[in-house]
Amino acid sequence: MMQKGEMYVGWSTKEDVRKRGGSGGLVTSVLAAALEKKLVDAVVVLKKMNEFEAVPVITSDVNEVLNSAGSLHSVPSNFAKLIANKNLKVALPAKGCDVRGIIEQGKRSAINLDNTFVLGLNCGGSMHPVMTREMLEVMYKIKPEDVHVEEIEKGKLIFETRDGKEHAITIDELEEKGYGRRENCRYCTIKIPNNADLACGNWGVTGDLAGKATFVEINSEKGARLLQNAVDAGYVQLQKPDEKGVAARAKIKGAMEGLSKKWKDKVFVPLDNKLEYFRKELENCIDCGACKSVCPTCSCGDVSKCTEFHYRGDAYKMSMYHLVRFLHLADSCIGCGQCSDVCPVDIPLARLYRRFANSMQEELKYEPGMDLRKPPYFEAKLEV
C-alpha cells in the first residue's frame, strides 16, 4: 500500500490519453479510475470550448473524463465554488488556489473534505484567455486560431502552431509588456500544491520520460488511496523518480517561489494615502456582486453580512459591502484573483484584498487554505 510522502513518476496506460493529455495523461487516468472503481461518484473535468477556454463540468461518465481537456494555462478555473454545497463524493484536478479554496469551503462546512479527492497540479500561473489572444497577435505575431499546443518551459512561454513551429518568448519579457500571467499568479507562492491529496506536475521528470510522464507526490492517506486505485485498476503505471529529478523539482519550486516574493514587493508598494487609494479604486463599482459570487473562500450564500449591511441607496463614499468584505477577507483571502477576473469595471480587487490580507496573515502567521488546523478567525462556525 502506498504511503503519504512517497513520490513517483507515472503515466497513463491508455495510449490515446497519453497522446492527448499533457505529461503522459496520468491525472486524467487517475480521475477516470476513481470514477470507474466507484471511489467517487463524480469527477470535475474541463470541457474544451476552444484553444483558450474550457468550462468545468461535473460528470459521472468515464468516457467524458478520458476525453477531457486536461489543464490549460489560459483557463483560470474556479473549482471550489463549483462543488460547494452539492454534497458530492468527488475527485477533481486543482491548481494551488483551487485547493486552498476547497479547504476553506471545507472549514465552512460547504464541502465534505473526507469525500473530496483533490489532485493538485503544479502551477506557475495562469493567463486570461482574452489577454492570451491579444498577446499572440501582438507579441508572437501569430493567429490565435493557428495555435496547437502551449507549454511553459525554462522560463519561456511556448506556443506550437499547427505547422509544427515553436514560438517562444520569456515570461519576464511578456510580463514587462503587460502580458503573461494574471497579476495574482505572479506573486502566488503555492507552486507545488502539497495541500492537495496528490501533487502532480512535470517538474522533476527527466531523461527519456521528459514530457511523457507526470511526477506525483502523495500528500495524504486519501491521496495514497486515489493513486493506488488507479494502479490497481490498470489505468496508470508508476516508477520511482531518480534523485536528479527530485532535486530538479525542488530547485524549480525554490526558484519560482523566490520570483513570487520579488513580484509581491513590486506589486504591493507602500501607499501614501490609503483611504483615498481605496476610495478611488472602488468608485466605479456597479454593485454586481460578482466578486462575492466567485470568491472561493466565501460560503455565506445570498444572505450575508456584506450584502445585508449594504443598500444601493446609501451614499457612503465606500460601500459597506466592500468594507465588510475587506474585513472578511483579511484572514481568508487566498489571492486567487477570481474577483479581479470577473469585475465588470476592472477594479483590481485581489490587489485591494491582499493589501489587508498580507499584513494580517503575516501577523497571525496564518495561511488560509493550507490545512485544517485553524478556523477562519472571523467566521468560526461553532458546533453546538
Partner 1 sequence: MNVYSTICPGCNFGCGLYIRENGKVEVDFRKSSPANAGKLCRFGMSLSRLYSPVKSMVDGKETALPEAAKEAAKRISASKGSTAFLSFGNTTCEELLAFQKLAEPYLCTGANFEALPKDTYQTLSVGIPYSEIEVAKHIVLFIDPYEQYPLIVRRLLSAKKREAKITSVWWKDLPLADENIRPADVSKLKLTKDSLVIADFHPLSDVEQVMNVLSLAGNAGAKITFLKPFVNSTGAYIISKDAKQKSLGQLVEDINKGTIKTLFCLESDPYGIIPQETLGKLTNLIIQTGQAGALTTKANVVIAHEPLYKKKGTLINNEGRASALGGAGTNGLEALGIVAGTKFEFDPLHESVKKMLGISAVDEFTIPKYERPQYGAVQASAKPIEAKNALVSVYNPFMWYGLADDNDFVELNLGMVRALKLLKGGNIRIKSNGSSIEKKFKVSPVQDNILLTGKRLGIEKGTLTPVEVSR
Question: Which residues in this chain contact partner 1 in the complex, by CB under 8 A?
Answer: 47, 49-50, 52-53, 55, 57-59, 74-76, 86, 128-130, 133, 144, 283-284, 286-290, 293-294, 311-315, 341-346
Nearest to 93 by CA among 174, 172, 238, 201: 201
Q: Please state the closest distance from residue 285 (CB atom) to partner 1, in A.
A: 9
State which H helix or E strand residue 157 sits in.
Answer: strand 156-161
Number of H helices, E strands in the chain: 16, 11
Q: Which is nearer to partner 1, 66 or 88 (CB)?
A: 88
Q: Please state the closest distance from residue 86 (CB atom) to partner 1, in A.
A: 8
Q: Which is nearer to partner 1, 32 or 343 (CB)?
A: 343
Residues paired with 147 in a beta bridge? 161
241: DSSP letter: P
Q: Which is nearer to partner 1, 47 or 212 (CB)?
A: 47
Q: Which is nearer to partner 1, 14 or 128 (CB)?
A: 128
- Residue keyed to cell 487554505: 369
Strands 7-12 and 214-218: antiparallel
Determine the Cα–Cα distance for residues 22 and 15; give it in Å rounded to an integer.
12
Q: Which is nearer to partner 1, 44 or 199 (CB)?
A: 44
- Residue keyed to cell 525542488: 250
Q: Please state the closest distance from residue 71 (CB atom) to partner 1, in A.
A: 15
Q: Please state the closest distance from residue 216 (CB atom) to partner 1, in A.
A: 28
Determine the Cα–Cα distance for residues 293 and 310; give it in Å rounded to an integer.
16
Helical spans, DSSP H, in the chain? 15-20, 26-36, 62-66, 79-83, 96-107, 129-135, 171-176, 183-187, 221-232, 243-267, 274-282, 290-294, 305-308, 320-332, 338-342, 349-364
Q: Which is nearer to partner 1, 331 or 341 (CB)?
A: 341
Q: Please state the closest distance from residue 289 (CB atom) to partner 1, in A.
A: 6
Q: Which is nearer to partner 1, 50 or 109 (CB)?
A: 50
Q: Please state the closest distance from residue 95 (CB atom) to partner 1, in A.
A: 15
Determine the Cα–Cα distance for residues 236 and 140; give it in Å rounded to an integer.
37
Q: Please state the closest distance from residue 280 (CB atom) to partner 1, in A.
A: 9
